[in-house]
Structure 1
Amino acid sequence: MDTVMSNSTLLTTPETYMGIYNELSKYNVHLNIFERLWASWYAYMQNDVLATGIMSFAMHEIVYFGRSLPWIIIDRIPYFNKYKIQAQKIPTAEEQWACAKVVLLSHFTVELPQIWLFHPMAKSLGMETGVPFPAWTTMAIQIAVFFVLEDAWHYWMHRAMHWGPLYRSIHKIHHQYSAPFGLAAEYASPIEVMILGAGTVGAPILWVMITGNLHILTMYLWIVCRLAQAIDAHSGYEFPWSLHHFLPFWAGADHHDTHHEKFIGNYASSFRWWDFVLDTESGADAAQKRRERKDAKAGKKVQ
């Protein structure tokens, strides 16, 4: 069984990044190329907090804006209008740019400090940052658990933020766009970013506190999946190949787009079960089912 190597003990005299990579590769043939690149980065930086902070923030920005870019392009191509859920509300370039500026400001003022503090907090709780990486099956299982935990947190916090005072003071900003688009996934007040973000970060933290078994790479992959899910849910597009057609319990864009259009219901982030069980589904079909249940109940009372 391979032993896990800490990032700070791989090399003692770092020079250039590629020089470190080549030297490390000579003596660590059991590591794959990604593990060597990872270890070389930490050895090159000689400061694990700085290395994690830069990598985490760069990953977040690249994934967020990189995943949003296809939706920006699709919004400019008329062919895709037939898949737009609210076809009459295509965001303008000015709206996209205004949204991007607010999101960027939030990333640097709200999220960057939290990202910078993440490494020391994670290490203190037992999160591993060295190599080799855990098995992909281990990471997949953990990410699946994180999706379920985050979805529960998101449902209750999001539902609470639709209570009058909280909606007016916190959540109303996010509902500026009744027809959402990808970039608007993190268009929200700083308080909301922190509250809902606590579910994304809190699920892995809770997991490592209980099990003592979590690698920061799993955390990164989880963040990538969660960002992609949030951006896709705000995309405003419903395709025949959308995931919820194959996984009926998956929320998807049609679920969240209806929430923005109706301003109520469909509070969960990734799955549909909380809204189904607690009868908070939104939209015409859900309203019709409620009327039918109400009529059926009234009919029984008459009898």
Structure 2
Amino acid sequence: MLADMVAAILFSAIAMSAIVAVRYLLASGAFAWATHLRQPGLYRGQGGQMRAEIGWSLLSAFIYGAPAGVVAWGWRAQGWTRIYDDPFAYPLWYWPVSVLLYLAAHDCWFYWTHRAMHEPRLFRIAHAVHHASRPPTAWAAMSFHPWEALTGAIVIPALVFIIPIHVGALGLVLTVMTVMGVANHMGWEMFPRWLVRGPAGAWLITASHHQRHHEQYRCNYGLYFRFWDRLCGTDRGLGDFGEKRAIP
């Protein structure tokens, strides 16, 4: 009985890791192809860097997938989590609220762990892998040292034990996480100027904001929202992809 349970957990972890790896390849591949069409030659001369980004990212995919697979098994087999699939288990208004709660919690975790990764010792040990991409490409979204990947891999699996969420809402959270992780590194801005430089853009992170982080390192640490950067004085405005000025 115990052996069967261990085998089921192991299978779920491996299967989820494979899913995360395929999701990464499809998402980053799609955005890399879009970059080829929209910005021809943008990644010229970065072949070696992109191969390194893919290698680190696939390793990270298995680190992200393992705890997610254990949680998925626990949800289905044991009912351990607060994931639900009955759309009427909670009021319908809670569906979008839960998505925002997850994004806000993930953003908070990411800001503080990311900022910690820029302390000299942790940067040398782990975060330097991510910043070896100069400039990053669409393949760099999960290009992390295993220690850094581990800090990112635990947050969503931990939240499903705390905050109730519909399985579809969780899928949306993971989609946003994937799309923004790739889009913020691809070297050009896919969102319209009116959004990026309008009132919403003052609080949302897009490629223009994260580009500034990869230029200057000690600023713009957030993932989805500029709240923590603004509150803590680490927001340095938007990068302009080649221009040196910052836009507040």
Give yes or no for TM over 0.5: yes
- In the superposition, relative to structure 1, how do residues 195 and 80 fare at CA in structure 2: closer, same or farther (>3 Å)? same
- Find 1:233's aligned residue among 173, 176, 184: 184
Query: Is 1:111 aligned to 2:90, yes or no?
Result: no
User: Which amino acid is 2:157 matched to?
Assistant: V
Query: Is 1:221 aligned to 2:172, yes or no?
Result: yes
Greater mean deviation of Cα atoms: 219-228 or 131-140: 131-140
- The residue correspondences of 1:1-303 to structure 2 (distance < 5 A) are 56-57=16-17, 59-77=19-37, 80=39, 90=44, 92-108=46-62, 110-122=63-75, 123-128=78-83, 137-207=93-163, 213-239=164-190, 241=192, 243-245=195-197, 247-248=200-201, 249-282=203-236
User: Which amino acid is 2:80 matched to?
Assistant: L
Q: Once superposed, what is the RMSD of the aligned Cα atoms? A: 3.2
Cα distance in 2 between the residues matched to 1:129 and 1:48: 21
CA contact (8 A) 1:60 1:224 kept: no
CA contact (8 A) 1:238 1:253 kept: yes
CA contact (8 A) 1:234 1:256 kept: yes
Greater mean deviation of Cα atoms: 221-230 or 183-192: 221-230
CA contact (8 A) 1:147 1:270 kept: yes
Give the drift of 1:124: 4.9
Cα distance in 2 between the residues matched to 1:285 and 1:273: 22
CA contact (8 A) 1:63 1:224 kept: no
Q: Which structure: greater helix fraction?
A: 1
Give the drift of 1:144: 1.2
Q: Percent identity?
A: 23
Q: How many pairs does the alignment contain? A: 230
Which has more radius of gyration? 1
TM-score, with structure 2 as normaliser: 0.77
Cα distance in 2 between the residues matched to 1:240 and 1:114: 32
Give the drift of 1:202: 2.9
Give the drift of 1:152: 0.8
Gaps of 5+ in 2: 1-6, 238-243
CA contact (8 A) 1:106 1:190 kept: yes
